[in-house]
Structure 1
Amino acid sequence: MIETTPSLIVFLIPLAYSPGPGNLFFAAAGARFGLGATLPALAGYHVATWVVTLAAGLGLAAAAGAAPGLFTALRWAGVAYVLWLALGFLLAAAGAGPEGQGGDARPAGFGSGALLLVLNPKAYVIIALMFSQFLPVGQEAGHGAAVLWITTVFTLNNLVAFTVWSLAGDRLAAHFRDSGSARRLNTFFGVLLAGVAFWLAAI
């Protein structure tokens, strides 16, 4: 598996760094609360990434294939959750304080980060595609080790990408510290997340 790792990373980089529900949320969270306050949600998202990816590689995908309605339900739950996140930013824009914090708004915690991954249908598509391309076929003896390696590389690559998105949001917010600019930034991320939700509903 180690010899195919460079190809796996090349495959994952555009998927991890392109806009999606996860990285756009963390960019918005970084802009609103700063990188430090976003770290618990980042940890939750990527612990969940590792657990879900490992389970998928070990056979969860086959089980889900036997119940196609499960993925549909998950997709709509994800759409609703991303819309809820978008609403939070739009409400903050309507009542932003001096630094755009939105009154009693608090940064997302570990559980919220984990829930974002669980309800992110883009993540499941990427996981299935990744295993279909990089999991060795016909090597049952090494199947578990290969799944573990791919899962870990995937999770670490995502962690770096999402940290970069969070840091970019944090740096962007440094230029929008007055209340009017903070409202515009929250509106921008709220509309962007709403757009992602509608895109998820359409695919």
Structure 2
Amino acid sequence: MSMKFVLAWMAAMFPLIFSPGPANITFAAAGASLGIRRSLPLMAGIDFIFIVKGFLVGFGLMTWLTNYPVALRVLQAGGVIYLIYLAYHFAKPKSPLSQGEAPKISIWNGMLIQILNVKGWIITFTMFSIFAPNLQHEPTTTILLLIALMTILNLSTHLCWIVFGSALAKFATNDRSQRVQGMLFSLSLLLVALWIALDNPIMLI
């Protein structure tokens, strides 16, 4: 694989993966609430499912989903509901007894977020449609290499969002600023959920 190919791939994929979306906003919120280390299980869950998506799409699921687009819409509707739940989780006030407890965000939360994250499916479809347009005749090594490139970019990008959220948390030095920060991240998740819902005919019925 040539350097020209890699640069073209980066030019197409970096804006898609780095741009704000359900997973990236959640990473920033988790970094602010949990810190970097305790956000890693969330990242592991999200990126594990991203890899699974790569294998499913790369080895045949793209054709099936093209024939049944309503499946993506159903996932999208589930993702909106889960984003609203996460927004509540980050915004709800903490009782004095729970101040020292770490929020319960785990690898399973990350897996569910990514399963329901239609943006992740679209990114994967886009990558293969541009860089491996005829999957039935592409060598397995090409598909595996594209999945590996996507995984490396995902891990580095998602870690950046966690670090960004963690850095913002350092400015929240008192209870009031922490509450404001939590509300801002919660509002961001709600706005992403609203944007997704407005794009989904199922949610507008």
Using the size of structure 1 for normalisation, the TM-score is: 0.90
Structure 2: segments with no counterpart, 5+ residues: 200-205
Q: Which moved more, 1:118-127 or 1:130-139?
A: 130-139
**Distance in 2 separating the partners of 1:77 and 1:155:** 24
Per-residue deviation, residues 142-172 of structure 1 (Å, max 9, x unmatched): 1x22111111111210111110010010011
Aligned to 1:48: 49
Aligned to 1:117: 114
Gap change, CA 1:68 and 1:16, over 3 Å in 2: closer
Letter in structure 2 aligned against 1:80: I
Aligned to 2:203: none
Per-residue deviation, residues 53-85 of structure 1 (Å, max 9, x unmatched): 111111111112222221111110111111111
Aligned to 1:197: 193
Q: CA deviation at 1:52?
A: 1.2
Q: Say which of 122, 125, 128 aligns to 1:128.
A: 125
Gap change, CA 1:32 and 1:65, over 3 Å in 2: same
Q: CA deviation at 1:25?
A: 0.3
Q: CA deviation at 1:14?
A: 1.2
Aligned to 1:178: 174
**Distance in 2 separating the partners of 1:135 and 1:43:** 26
Structure 1 contact 23–165 (Cα < 8 Å) conserved: yes
Per-residue deviation, residues 121-155 of structure 1 (Å, max 9, x unmatched): 1111111111111015388261x221111111112
**Distance in 1 separating the partners of 2:88 and 2:47:** 24
Structure 1: segments with no counterpart, 5+ residues: none
Q: CA deviation at 1:190?
A: 0.3
Structure 2 contact 25–189 (Cα < 8 Å) conserved: yes
Q: Secondary structure at the match of 2:162?
A: helix
Q: Secondary structure at the match of 1:176?
A: coil
CA RMSD between the two structures: 2.0
Q: Secondary structure at the match of 2:103?
A: coil
Q: Secondary structure at the match of 1:108?
A: coil
Q: Say which of 149, 158, 183 aligns to 2:145.
A: 149
Gap change, CA 1:2 and 1:80, over 3 Å in 2: farther
Letter in structure 1 aligned against 2:164: A
**Distance in 2 separating the partners of 1:148 and 1:135:** 11
Matches within 5 A, 1:65-76: 65-76=66-77
Structure 2 contact 83–190 (Cα < 8 Å) conserved: yes
Q: Secondary structure at the match of 2:173?
A: coil
Aligned to 1:31: 32
Using the size of structure 2 for normalisation, the TM-score is: 0.89
